[in-house]
Amino acid sequence: MKILDYAFSEAAYYRKNLSQFQSKEHDDGIYCTLPDLPMLNIESVYKSYGDFIADPYQKFPKSQNVIIKRAYEFGGKMIKVIWDQDDYLEMQKSLSDLHRKYYDIEPHDQYCGFYTALYRANKIIDVDTTQLMDNGNSMVFNVFRLYDDKLEKICREMREYNPKWLLLQPSIAWLLAEFIETKSIALPKDLKYIELYGEMVDESIRKKVEEAFGVTTAYTYVTNMVGAAAIECPCRNMHVISDNAVVEVLKDGVPVFGEEGDICVTGLKNHAMPIIRYLTGEKGVLLNVDCACGNKAPIIKITKGKKFPFIHLKDGNKLSAYSILGAIEFANEFMANAIKTMEVVQTDLDRFEACIELKPAYSGWKKAVVDAFLSNLREDELRQSKWKIIFSDNTVIEKV
């Protein structure tokens, strides 16, 4: 596997630990296979973060050809992943090839999506308006304040833009579907496909979305650690994108098929920060079975993963939980990425609890981090709610 050779040659983490990974010796030197490598988790990546960045990307000119992706992993864990820009485009191309094959979607076809934060030159920008991206090839909307008036404006702009497909988080797709059905909103005339990603797909949500929009949907398994790792075919089987990733399911650390276990991913495209055998925190079942679509790649079924439940307000309205994720993302960018892990639970219509783990170097920043998070909540109902912030050292800060 080329990415293994590259990682052992160019990334300090793998090079330093080569003796631990050795499986055999050949005349042409030491080599190992994927199962010989120990699994990574977010803690091991945090601990040796700089060593995962490959040598060429530690200095000019490669260091200038990177994009930074912010990963919000299962369990509220956050980390930055460094990508070579060309590698990222190659990873996207593998996904685009399957868009074309399965759903007649071309790379130049216009689409709409939602974002928590936008970045220019890898720096966060604070905008609250509809944005045209990719030289006009996409129209994106932010996740904040998705009340009826904003949803109506989004639907109007979407209809005028007339995308061929939508890229949506399932919970946001449900909010749109409910609004469209309730208000009898006209749809973009050329819309033919919706891709769901970012959280587990509840079949009742999928059914509502397909009925409201009148188009087919597919789910794509994406992790910023390795990119697009799997996509559903029209038979509703989610095939591993073998050009982009190796997906394993491990039970007691041993790869299994047909049994539920821990999902472990290896990226095949990213040379800036090679990630090999990373445990996502999710669970699934890996199958090697024939599919009527003709794709021979393994099929992955996600059985436990990220979910973004709705925030319920006193007036009966619902907000997307991405409103809170967006505030976390902004706070983290403004506070030197001090937040390592953050999970939020709604305990009442106007009460929330947040558990935060800071990186050790920022243990004295607790009040500043809380202030930054609360100030980046965009909805009045969230800002005016009662918040109990519990840190990993049991320090508690309350805003009442």
Lowest mean pLDDT segment, chosen from 19-33, 54-68, 313-327, 369-383: 19-33
Residue 205 and residue 276 in one domain? yes
Which residues have a Cβ under 8 Å from the Cβ of 102 and sit 6 or more positions away? 218, 231, 233, 234, 293
Nearest residue to 114 via CA among 175, 72, 56, 164: 175
Domain boundary at 261, 277, 304, which? 304
Task: Report the CATH number at residue 240.
Answer: 3.40.50.12780
What is the per-residue pLDDT across 22-34, written as a single tens digit (0 to 9) for each? Answer: 655 544 555 567 8
Identify the pLDDT of residue 74: 75
What's the mean pLDDT when you consider all of the chain?
A: 93
- Burial grade of 129 (CB within 10 A; 0-12, 13-18, 19 or more): exposed
Q: How many C-beta atoms surround the C-beta of residue 19 within 10 A?
A: 7
Are 391 and 357 in contact by the 8 Å Cβ rule? The answer is yes
Total domain count for the chain? Answer: 2
Whether a cis peptide bond, with omega within 30° of 0, leads into 61 is yes
Average pLDDT over residues 67-72: 90
Is the dihedral angle over the CA atoms 124, 125, 129, 130 positive or is it negative? negative
Is residue 79 included in any domain, yes or no?
no
Residue 116 and residue 258 in one domain? yes
Are 34 and 4 in contact by the 8 Å Cβ rule? The answer is yes
Residue 351 and residue 390 in one domain? yes
Identify the pLDDT of residue 370: 97
Task: Report the CATH number at residue 386.
Answer: 3.30.300
Domain boundary at 304, 325, 355, which? 304
Residue 45 has pLDDT above 50, yes or no: yes
Which residues have a Cβ under 8 Å from the Cβ of 153 and sit 6 or more positions away? none
What is the per-residue pLDDT across 186-195, written as a single tens digit (0 to 9) for each? Answer: 999 999 999 9
Is residue 17 included in any domain, yes or no?
no
End-to-end CA distance of the chain: 55
Alpha-carbon distance 163 to 213, whole Å? 13
For residue 340, the surrounding DSSP H or E stretch is strand 339-348
Alpha-carbon distance 248 to 114, whole Å? 30
Is residue 72 included in any domain, yes or no?
no
Range of the structural domain that residue 388 is part of: 311-399
Identify the pLDDT of residue 22: 60
Alpha-carbon distance 367 to 382, whole Å? 18
Identify the pLDDT of residue 128: 82
- Burial grade of 313 (CB within 10 A; 0-12, 13-18, 19 or more): middle
Identify the pLDDT of residue 147: 94
Residue with tokens 């809170």, as numbered in its chain: 324
Residue 268 and residue 364 in one domain? no
Residue 287 and residue 352 in one domain? no
Average pLDDT over residues 42-50: 93
What is the per-residue pLDDT across 201-234, written as a single tens digit (0 to 9) for each? Answer: 989 999 999 999 999 999 999 988 899 999 999 9
Average pLDDT over residues 50-57: 97
Residue 366's SS3 state is helix
- pTM of the predicted structure, to 2 decimals: 0.94
Is residue 34 included in any domain, yes or no?
no
Residue with tokens 């029209």, as numbered in its chain: 234
Residue 99 and residue 192 in one domain? yes
What is the per-residue pLDDT across 361-370, written as a single tens digit (0 to 9) for each? Answer: 999 999 999 9
Residue 77 has pLDDT above 90, yes or no: no
Nearest residue to 169 via CA among 97, 235, 90, 114: 114
What is the per-residue pLDDT across 109-119, written as a single tens digit (0 to 9) for each? Answer: 999 999 999 99
Average pLDDT over residues 166-180: 96
Average pLDDT over residues 354-377: 96
Amino acid 359 reads K
Q: How confident is the model at residue 400 (pLDDT cuts 50, 70, 90)?
A: confident
What is the per-residue pLDDT across 297-324, written as a single tens digit (0 to 9) for each? Answer: 999 999 999 888 899 999 888 999 999 9
Average pLDDT over residues 42-48: 92
Identify the pLDDT of residue 11: 96
Identify the pLDDT of residue 71: 83
What is the per-residue pLDDT across 127-155, written as a single tens digit (0 to 9) for each? Answer: 888 999 999 999 999 999 999 999 999 99
Residue 75 has pLDDT above 80, yes or no: no
What sections of the chain are H helices per DSSP? 2-10, 12-16, 18-21, 42-47, 49-52, 85-103, 148-161, 170-183, 203-213, 322-334, 366-375, 380-383
Identify the pLDDT of residue 198: 92
Is residue 284 included in any domain, yes or no?
yes
Which residue(s) pair with 88 in the sheet? none
Identify the pLDDT of residue 1: 80
Identify the pLDDT of residue 31: 59
Alpha-carbon distance 17 to 126, whole Å? 41
Residue 326 and residue 283 in one domain? no
**Bridging pattern class, strands 227-232 and 278-287:** unpaired
